[in-house]
Amino acid sequence: MKLIRYGIILKRLTINDIEMVRKARNSVRHLMDYKEYITPEMQLSWFKSIDNPHNFYYIINYQNEPVGVIHEKNTSLEPGIKYDDSEGGIFMFEEKYYSSPAPVFAALILIEKGFYIFGDTESVIHIISGNEKAIRFNKSLGYELCPGQENLMKQRYILTKAGFEHKTKKLRKAALKLARSENNFKWVLEKNDYSTGFGLKIEEIYSKAGLVFTKQNNGEKVCIINFPD
């Protein structure tokens, strides 16, 4: 499965990606809540636990190169419904990518998907206290620290639709211009999604949100959602 907007591609994590992600994740584990070294066996076990329609982990492809991972964890299968333990997160494979447009574009894609397509009322993330780079990044999108979190190591931040629009209206217009991208959201279900049954399940779930996927000559199914300018 792929999500395409702002000139980048978010491609759903597959088993072929997990060793690359494991090595990258270990290199930045000092910034994570879980700081232990991850072995190949641990990574495989983790992948099996998230390889389902409740969890969406995406490789961020920017300028034809995998540069990071962004995720939506413990998501509801019902449009507009959000679990208490649902949350998103992002990390980049190398330091240089944090100063590129890639993390901003990737975050915008998933937030817009939640607010404008699935009717979410909020987005929740957690940031390790002292990770100033992540705090600044997410505050620029409109996330705010929740009350009572100030003295915690793992702090909860929340984003409302109104807060997102207030903070990012100009940013989103600039992103479209920079990417020379049309103002639409392209969803692609690939042939391998259907070989595992995932594609049919996603079609069934997303049809409740009004999404219609059209079969292409290459066997993929595509849904394009045009946003108002």
In the predicted structure, residue 20 carries a pLDDT above the cut 70: yes
Count how many Cα atoms sit within 13 Å of the Cα of residue 74 in the half-sphere of its side chain: 10
Region 77-91: what's the mean pLDDT? 71
pTM assigned to the model? 0.90
pLDDT (tens digit, 9 = 90+) per residue, 129-188?
988 988 999 999 999 999 999 999 999 999 999 999 999 999 999 999 999 989 999 999
- Rounded CA-CA distance 69/145 in Å is 23
pLDDT (tens digit, 9 = 90+) per residue, 85-119?
678 889 999 888 888 999 999 999 999 999 998 88
